[in-house]
């Protein structure tokens, strides 16, 4: 049976003995849906031999942007900024000449061109070209046709399209209402009839298998809503099993 590796809500204990510690803290945190700091602390306990040694900052190519170095090293942006100031202050970017910016372009377009956060662009627009703020809001057009609403989460779509999660949620309700969270649109299954002696992982796989059997192998709802829904209904219909259900397979 295929295992769907989806992070469950906080409060569900994980089996740290079965973690692939050859992966970075960032990768493991993304897979489990926890903070990198949590993974780092557990690594010290369960696999101290794999803990990262002090980083060799002399090997850094400071001609690269902070964003590139964050992706390359796995370090946080504040840490990269701190070490750049100490080791390569001459590479610190000088204040940008906002007077040279073509404010007829949208914040999203300028963010890509200037390699900056769209929030920084928005703040600068308000200060240096306030007369274009309304124009920018009206101008922004998003192509929603390439989104797989059954698979992609609102947060991932928001990042990819350069819009807020509220906007994505609004468009999901219009373009793909069947993929909304159960509480807003679709009843996934008969929660009161589930066997809660099974783990959350087993219930997730059971629900998906039942859905595929009913729809010729297709899933008509977003699987990203399942872990939260399972945990919520376990607490509602079988609260005595909450502490017994301790880990993901």
The answer for residues whose C-beta is within 8 angstroms of residue 13's C-beta and 6 or more apart is: 246, 247
Q: How far is CA 215 from the centre of its chain?
A: 29
Q: How far is CA 106 from the centre of its chain?
A: 24
Q: How far is CA 42 from the centre of its chain?
A: 21
pLDDT of the residue at 16: 86
User: What mean pLDDT comes out for the span 220-230?
Assistant: 72
Please state, in angstroms and rounded to a whole number, the distance separating the CA atoms of residues 157 and 5. 20
Band (pLDDT 50/70/90 cuts) for residue 140 is low
Tens digits of per-residue pLDDT, 73-131? 777 888 888 888 889 888 887 777 888 889 888 887 888 888 777 778 888 888 888 88
pLDDT of the residue at 221: 64
Percent composition of the chain: helix, strand, coil (DSSP 3-state, to 5): 55, 0, 45
pLDDT of the residue at 169: 81
Collapsed DSSP state (helix, strand, coil) of residue 48: helix
Say if pTM beats, i.e. exceeds, 0.75: no
Tens digits of per-residue pLDDT, 160-219? 887 777 788 888 877 887 777 543 445 678 888 899 888 888 888 888 888 888 878 777
The answer to whether the beta carbons of residues 4 and 206 sit under 8 Å apart is no
Please state, in angstroms and rounded to a whole number, the distance separating the CA atoms of residues 186 and 202. 21
């Amino acid at each position: 049976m295929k295992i769907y590796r989806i992070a469950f809500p906080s409060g569900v204990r994980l089996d740290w003995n079965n973690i692939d510690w050859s992966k970075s803290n960032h990768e493991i945190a993304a897979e489990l849906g926890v903070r990198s700091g949590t993974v780092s602390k557990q690594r010290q306990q369960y696999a101290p031999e794999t803990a990262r040694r002090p980083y060799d900052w002399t090997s850094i190519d400071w001609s690269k942007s902070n964003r590139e170095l964050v992706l390359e090293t796995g370090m946080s942006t504040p840490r990269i900024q701190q070490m750049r100031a100490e080791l390569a202050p001459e590479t610190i970017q000088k204040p940008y000449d906002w007077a040279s910016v073509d404010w007829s372009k949208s914040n999203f377009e300028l963010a890509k061109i200037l390699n900056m956060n769209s929030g920084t662009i928005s703040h600068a627009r308000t200060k240096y070209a306030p007369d274009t703020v309304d124009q920018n809001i009206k101008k922004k057009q998003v192509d929603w046709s390439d989104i797989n609403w059954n698979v992609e989460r609102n947060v991932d779509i928001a990042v990819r399209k350069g819009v807020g999660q509220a906007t994505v949620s609004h468009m999901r309700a219009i373009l793909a209402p069947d993929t909304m969270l159960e509480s807003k649109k679709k009843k996934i299954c008969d929660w009161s009839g589930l066997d809660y002696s099974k783990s959350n992982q087993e219930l997730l796989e059971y629900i998906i298998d039942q859905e595929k059997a009913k729809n010729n192998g297709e899933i008509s709802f977003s699987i990203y809503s399942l872990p939260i829904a399972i945990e919520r209904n376990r607490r509602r219909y079988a609260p005595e099993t909450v502490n017994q259900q301790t880990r993901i397979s």
